[in-house]
Amino acid sequence: MPKFAHLLAGFLAPLCIATFFLSTLLTELFGSHAAVAQLKSLIVTPGLWIMVPLMAAAGGSGMLLARSRKGRLVEAKKKRMPFIAANGLLVLVPCAIVLNRWAVAGSFDTAFYVVQAIELVAGATNLALMGLNARDGLRMAGRLRIGPAVAEKAR
């Protein structure tokens, strides 16, 4: 059961961040202020209420699975998780809330775009870290073919 939960959360959590990232980029580039405000509101509710539990589920179920595993791949995944969690809770969540407030108030000034840029960089960072965790996870589960050098690390 934790295996299936981890596979599901490990797939949906990065998908969630990727959706926020792409929809933000597209609406900022091509959408009206009203469209940006609508998206900011959707990212907070229901977005954050989906993203935060998914990240916690991926991390929590991963830690459970890791109890019976050793090796550099699992250690690398464990080391990445605090950065993913801190980046999510301390940067992405506050940025989403502040941007939503400002967008509702129609305040699209320099501060808005600075925070928007910070949010995009943090989102891309988390996407990359989660991508690495998914790659290493698929390798450990034997779903991704690995060469002899990586097989050595997995032991």
Query: Is the CB of residue 85 less than 8 Å from the CB of residue 126?
Result: no
Question: What is the pattern of x (binds ligand HEM, CB under 6 A) and - over residues 106-145?
Answer: ------------------------x--xx--xx-xx-x--
Cα distance between residue 54 and residue 56, in whole Å: 5
Among residues 74, 92, 95, 127, which is the contact residue for ligand HEM, using CB under 6 A?
74
Among residues 18, 78, 115, 120, which is the contact residue for ligand HEM, using CB under 6 A?
78
Q: List the interface residues with ligand HEM, window 27-66 (CB under 6 A).
A: 55, 58-59, 62-63, 65-66
- Burial letters 31-63, b for 16+ CB under 10 A, else e: eeeeebbebbbebbeebbebbbebbebbbbbbe
What is the enclosing helix (H) or strand (E) of 34?
helix 33-42
Binding-site ranges for ligand HEM (CB under 6 A): 3, 6-7, 10-11, 13-14, 55, 58-59, 62-63, 65-66, 69, 74, 77-78, 81, 84, 130, 133-134, 137-138, 140-141, 143
